Amino acid sequence: MKESLIIIFTFLFSITLVGQKMYVDIQTTNPSPGVGDKFKVSYILKLKMDGGMASISHNGIKVSKPDFSDGFVVSQEGNESTGFGGFGSREMTISKYSFILQAKKKGTFKIDPLSFTMNGDEIKSGIFTINVGKGNPNAKIETSDPNLFARIEVSKRNPYKGEAVTVSYKVYTRYNGFGIEDYEIPMVNGFWKEEIKAPGNGWPQTTQTVNGLNYYVITLKKEVIIPQKTGKLKFDPMPVTALIGRSLFNRGQQKQISSNAPTITVKSLPTPTPPNFSNQVGSNYKINLAYSTNTLKTNEPLDVKLKISGKGNLKQLTAPSLNFPQDFEVFDPEIKENVKVGSSGINGSKSFNFLVIPRHRGTFELPEYSFTYFDVNTKKYKTLTHPSKTITVNKGDNEVVTTNGNNSTNTTKQNVEILNSDIRHIDEQTRLFAKKDTFYNTTTYWILVILPLFVAVVFYIITILKRTRNTDENKYKSKNASKLATQKLRKASDLLSNNQHLDFYDELNKALNNYCSHKLSLPMASLTKDAISKSLKAKNVSPQTVSNLIKILDQCEMARFSPITQEGAEQTLEESKLIINQIEKDVKK
């Protein structure tokens, strides 16, 4: 994976860099390791100098890394802090990228070159040869870092088809100055998924003891999955890119890890399946069927409400079929759900409100309703029933009696305009108007003709006034941005004094974003780090100040993933104050 390393140096004098003056030096702590030995290999980008001092300007350095997988395990890797040549030195170190390797088998291994790319120029190392001896035959080859690993944790390994399973994606670390740079949640086919929403500040960082060692536990995501087919369903490993040994002035060393790849074996539901099975799998289901009345007239509405509650995938529950008599006109139900997705699974209720209109008189029996689900506790199908209901329909006021060829009577269906709690029928009577009652050329006609033009003029005036007021308001906010930021920084400082580190970084992030929004007249909805950088550079703010501001914004976003120290937080706060002061100076120039 390519890594971007941002390094900016400022010295007294400046020289022009030429490609052939730079080269890559390779150093190792053990040129002839044995099997199982750990050793360090460093690739150092250097500049040959004839004396004096140099100023290096670039937009970042990219590293293309060789593949060590044939004979070595990479325990750790990343860029390191570098020392520079002083006045009169013959070379200067520009960048250093190191690997800690463990040899896993004997032999001679030729390692492909590593390359640094800076300002469009690529500088490659030579091919590095490592001779691995016999070493200790009983040496334990580490396939993973015991101080850092990732896990995909599932609540059940053998669920039934349709049964909810909770999945947590976590990172365990014992490193200080730790941060997560990137990760990718694996996609698994055969599951219906619903993410569990994290609290406002994200999932809290916890501690856990594993094999006698204490770890910080960072939860990246939680979700509920419901298998839609049987058999073995396997997760892909979750790749995570982490940074260790971070500080305000050191980006830290990069380390790539991969999680476990759990397999879930999904069981089939018992056979035979009941004919009225609802496809719901869970526990503690209940049903409630209520009728608004049991006596009404023809063409009057009857509200029927069916509520199904329990612990299971109610989100996939479809509208049931209620067997009404043919003399009842039934409309599609209104569906309401009150379903919660949490670490314990999915639970809540789902309601189906049916609007039913009887079109004929008589006494009708609404049949018994039954609901069947599979109970995961008893591992059996359960059927819930609601008894039948008798409904009496009397003659309605709008009932029309007609006689057909068999001299039998029936009622005609009425057109319904609004079908809800208020029912009214379309007026079918026709009214005629005399020509003298025409609307054209009346006072009301001309008012309605002129009114849109008047409204348009008023709207235009209001828009101009609002635009002027917004301009004045933006100028006021820009002028007082520093004062508003100082108030918020004071609040952040109070949170820090009370050891509320997560709240401190949240408040600091708000303070810096609000300051940039007011100072640069950028709306919060479009306030991104890229937009902040471009606007500050357009106002001639120094690139160093912009870079420092973006670094602190990144720190605030990643603070919840990293163990936090009081000293580091205080340093971040002071750096923020200096950045705001420097922006104020640069903008006034």
* CATH number (domain holding residue 510): 1.20.120.330
Give the number of other CB atoms < 10 A from CB of residue 344. 13
Same-domain check for residues 341 and 397: yes
Token look-up 């508003």 returns 484
Q: Are residues 255 and 301 in the same domain?
A: no
Helices 566-588, 501-520: crossing angle, 10 deg rounding: 10
**Between the CA atoms of 106, 112, 117 and 122, what dihedral angle is there, to the nearest 10 degrees?**
150
Q: Output DSSP code: residue 492.
A: H
Q: Would you call 162 exposed, middle or buried from its count of C-beta atoms within 10 A (0-12, 13-18, 19+)?
A: buried
Helix (H, G, I), strand (E, B) or coil at 449: helix
Regarding whether 154 and 127 lie in a shared domain, the answer is no
Q: Is residue 422 part of a domain?
A: no
Give SS3 for 560.
helix
Is there a single domain that holds both residue 379 and residue 256? no
* Tokens of residue 470, six digits: 């917004």
Same structural domain, 100 and 196: no
- Final residue of a structural domain among 105, 132, 159: 132
Is residue 407 located within the same domain as residue 506?
Answer: no
Q: What predicted TM-score, i.e. pTM, was given to this entire model? A: 0.50
* R_g (Cα) of the chain, nearest Å: 36
- How open is the CA angle 520-575-45, to the nearest 5 degrees? 100
Q: Which helix (H) or strand (E) holds 221?
A: strand 213-227
pLDDT confidence of residue 374: 96
Angle between helices 501-520 and 481-497 (to 10 degrees): 180
| DSSP code per residue over 257-308 | EE----EEEEBPPPSSPPTTEEEEEEEEEEEEEEES-SEEETT--EEEEEEE
Residues 256-269: b if buried by 16+ CB within 10 A, e if exposed: ebebeebebebeeb
Q: Which residues pair with 391 in a beta bridge?
A: 364
For residue 346, being part of any structural domain is answered with yes
Three-state secondary structure call for residue 83: coil
Domain residues for 567? 477-588
Taking alpha carbons only, the member of 39, 69, 41, 66 closest to residue 133 is: 39
| CATH label of the domain that carries residue 159 | 2.60.40.680
The amino acid that residue 475 corresponds to is K
Structure tokens at 349: 């209720």
* 560, 206 Cβ separation under 8 angstroms: no
Task: Say how many domains are in the chain.
Answer: 4
pLDDT of residue 37: 86
- Residue 169 resides in a domain: yes
Residue where a domain terminates, one of 88, 104, 132: 132
Last residue of a domain, one of 266, 290, 307: 266
Domain harbouring 352, CATH code: 2.60.40
What's the pLDDT at 263? 92
Written as tens digits, the pLDDT of the chain (589 aa) is 334 333 333 333 333 444 447 899 999 988 889 888 888 899 999 888 765 555 565 667 888 889 888 888 887 777 775 555 544 557 788 888 888 888 888 899 999 999 999 888 899 999 999 999 887 766 666 666 778 899 999 999 999 999 999 999 999 998 888 888 899 998 878 888 889 998 888 889 899 988 777 889 999 999 999 999 999 999 999 999 998 877 766 677 788 889 999 999 999 999 999 988 999 999 999 999 999 999 999 999 999 999 999 999 898 898 888 888 888 999 989 999 999 998 888 999 999 999 999 989 999 988 899 999 999 999 999 999 999 999 999 988 766 554 433 333 344 444 444 444 444 445 455 555 555 556 667 888 788 888 888 898 888 888 887 776 655 556 666 777 777 788 888 888 888 777 777 778 888 888 888 888 888 887 776 678 888 888 888 888 888 888 888 888 877 877 655 555 666 778 888 888 888 888 888 877 6
Residues 44/25, Cβ–Cβ less than 8 Å:
yes
Of 57, 41, 193, 47, nearest to 132 by C-alpha is 41
Residue 162 lies in a domain: yes
Q: How far apart are CA 219 and CA 575, in angstroms?
A: 29
C-alpha neighbours within 13 Å on the C-beta side of residue 136: 8
Q: Are residues 239 and 297 in the same domain?
A: no
Q: 498 lies in a domain?
A: yes
Find out whether 240 and 171 touch, Cβ atoms under 8 Å. yes
Distance CA 478, CA 475 (A): 5
CATH number at residue 26: 2.60.40.10
494 and 567 housed in the same domain: yes
Considering the domain architecture, whether residues 281 and 403 belong to the same structural domain is answered as yes
Q: What is the pLDDT of residue 435?
A: 53
Based on the domain organization, do 191 and 259 belong to the same domain? yes
Handedness of CA 550, 253, 68, 215 (dihedral sign): negative
Q: What is the pLDDT of residue 349?
A: 95
454: in domain = no
Q: Which residues contact 479 (CB under 8 A, 6 or more apart)?
A: none
Let me know whether 23 and 113 are in one domain. Answer: yes
Confidence (pLDDT) at 487: 80
What span, in angstroms and rounded, lies between the C-alpha atoms of 556 and 515? 15
- Tokens (6 digits) for 251: 């980006």
- Side-chain-side CA neighbours of residue 237 (13 Å): 10
39: its two tokens = 């050793």
- Residue 459 lies inside a defined structural domain of this protein: no
**Per the domain annotation, does 428 fall within a domain?**
no
Do 67 and 9 lie in one domain? The reply is yes
